[in-house]
Every structure is written in C-alpha cells, then in structure tokens.
Amino acid sequence: MRLPVNTEVDGAAEREDPRWDVFQKVYDTAGRNAPALPNWSNIRQISSEGLNGVVSDCSRDVGRAMDELAGEIDAELEKQGAKG
C-alpha cells in the first residue's frame, strides 16, 4: 500500500477509488514507521512463515500459534539487541 507522500494529494480521488480513504484514515490515526532493526528481513520471514502456517491449517489453534510466533519474534529481537 503506497499512500501519497504529498499530504495535499487525495489518494482516493487520484485513483478514483474510495477504498483508499480507509487506508488513509487508518494511517492518519494509527500509522507509524517500522522500527529500525539491524536485520528487518528476519522478522518479516518469521512473521510470514508463522501467519502462513495459521491460514494453511484450519485445525490449528490460532491463539497458541500467535503466542509461538510472538515468542519467535521476541527471540529474534533479543538476538538483534533490539528488544525494548
């Protein structure tokens, strides 16, 4: 999702698609930059594998899977010295 950098540009009007307003509102109220990490790609890989595992197995306990994923991400952040 790429929102306009220029705050004067209306992305929904520019793309002629009102759905962009939803993304703009979420970004305006809750958006923040991704944290600076020495190796962000490891976090993305861990996240994608964990989430893919949940959506590909309907019988999986989602709560437990998310707890496991959180633990893996915490361990990676600790390894990178970025856990705060």
Q: Give per-residue pLDDT as tens, 10-44.
A: 888 888 888 888 888 888 898 877 777 889 899 99
Q: How many domains does the chain have?
A: 2
- What integer pLDDT is reported at residue 24 of this predicted model? 86
Cα gap 27→75, rounded to integer Å: 28
- Measured CA to CA, the distance from residue 50 to residue 53 in angstroms comes to 5
Same structural domain for residues 49 and 27?
no
Q: Cα angle at 70 between 72 and 23, to 5 degrees?
A: 125
Domain assignment present for residue 63? The answer is: yes
Round to whole Å and give the CA distance between 65 and 61: 6
Same domain, 48 and 75: yes
pTM: predicted TM-score of the whole model, two decimal places: 0.60
- Whether 84 is covered by a domain: the verdict is no
Range of the structural domain that residue 21 is part of = 1-32
54 within domain boundaries: yes
Q: What is the pLDDT of residues 43-71, one digit of tens each?
A: 999 999 999 999 999 999 999 999 999 99
